[in-house]
Amino acid sequence: MRSWTTRWLSRALNQNWQAVTANAETKPRTYSRFISVASGFPKNLGQSKYKPGKMGDDAWFIANTKSADVLGVADGVGGWRSYGIDPGEFAMVLMRNCERLVKFARFDPVKPVNLIASGYRELRANRKSILGSSTACIVVFNREDSSIYTANIGDSGFIIVRKGEIVHRSEEQQHYFNTPFQLSLPPPGHTDVLSDSPESANTTTFTVCNGDVILVATDGVFDNVPIRLLVDTLQRVEGENDQVKLQMCANSIALMARSLSFDSKFLSPFSLNARRNNINAMGGKPDDITVVLATVAL
């Protein structure tokens, strides 16, 4: 009998592939664009029901317009579960709002922080109260100037690899160890909840080169996979335009992160960071894992 991991991956990849190919524009190859795929796992495979664009408490989207390609990930704060709140719903609704705004071209490609703010504002205005908290990371490729514009709040993030080296990466935002910046909508009476504004997101702008590899992921990847191992894996698909090969790379990163997250003897990036904060930790950090992978075709 196939394992939970294999069953989940088979089902998720089928749905993800349909979503990604549905978003792909039928345009000449002379157009500058992202070639994008997604992969990942919820932490608790046996207890999670698959939903497109959702990996446990994580959420993601890939969308495009005539002027831009957009990648997004969000990580719901799991602590809300003890209050009877689904931590993944906040992240999922936030990303769906952002995706819809992109598809209807109701956003400025050079100001992704405004996209996060608009998605968050719509979430707060929802007739059904969507309670919880989430990180968010948005990466936009603006075709007009062949540049990338990013906005990141919390400890999800991105790295850009070129010729086997990181040329750009997001800056993690933490209030203190393992407590990232986050967008929040707490239940009434919860006045002591961390709640950061969308405008507190780190923003960056830079040009890209043909063949650059872009990884946008939640902390389930960065907390468990050493950065050098990530770079070595991403280097293999520099300049790759074949979505199947990109999907295989995304799958390998997701599987690697999941395997290391449950390795109690592995000195993970999370454990190393804990030790820097005077916490004696060892092993990976079991978590939801979301991988959105893209290459740049100019």
Q: What is the pLDDT of residue 210?
A: 97
Q: What is the pLDDT of residue 31?
A: 80
pTM value is 0.92
Q: Which amino acid is at 90?
A: F
Distance CA 43, CA 257 (A): 11
Question: What are the C-alpha distances in Å from 121 to residues 60, 90, 101, 203, 260?
Answer: 18, 12, 12, 19, 37
Question: What are the C-alpha distances in Å from 47 to residues 85, 92, 131, 182?
Answer: 16, 17, 21, 25
Q: What is the pLDDT of residue 180?
A: 98
Query: What are the φ and ψ backbone dihedral angles of 38, each rounded to 5 degrees?
Result: -145, 155
Distance CA 56, CA 59 (A): 8
Q: What is the pLDDT of residue 19?
A: 52
DSSP element (H, E) containing 235: helix 227-235
Q: What is the pLDDT of residue 16?
A: 58
Q: Which residues of the chain have pLDDT under 70?
A: 1-30
* Spatial CA neighbour of 60 closest among 98, 95, 111: 95
Helices and strands, number each (H, E), in the chain:
7, 15
Q: What are the structure tokens assigned to 237, written together?
A: 């698909």
In CATH terms, the superfamily for domain 33-218+288-297 is: PPM-type phosphatase domain (3.60.40.10)
Q: What is the pLDDT of residues 153-212, one digit of tens each?
A: 999 999 999 999 999 999 999 999 999 999 999 998 888 899 999 999 999 999 999 999
Q: What is the DSSP letter of 200?
A: G
Q: Which of helix, strand or coil describes residue 246?
A: helix
The burial of 154, by beta-carbon neighbours within 10 Å (0-12 exposed, 13-18 middle, 19 or more buried), is given as: buried
Distance CA 107, CA 61 (A): 15
| Strands, E assignment, 8-135 | 33-41, 54-55, 58-64, 68-75, 132-134
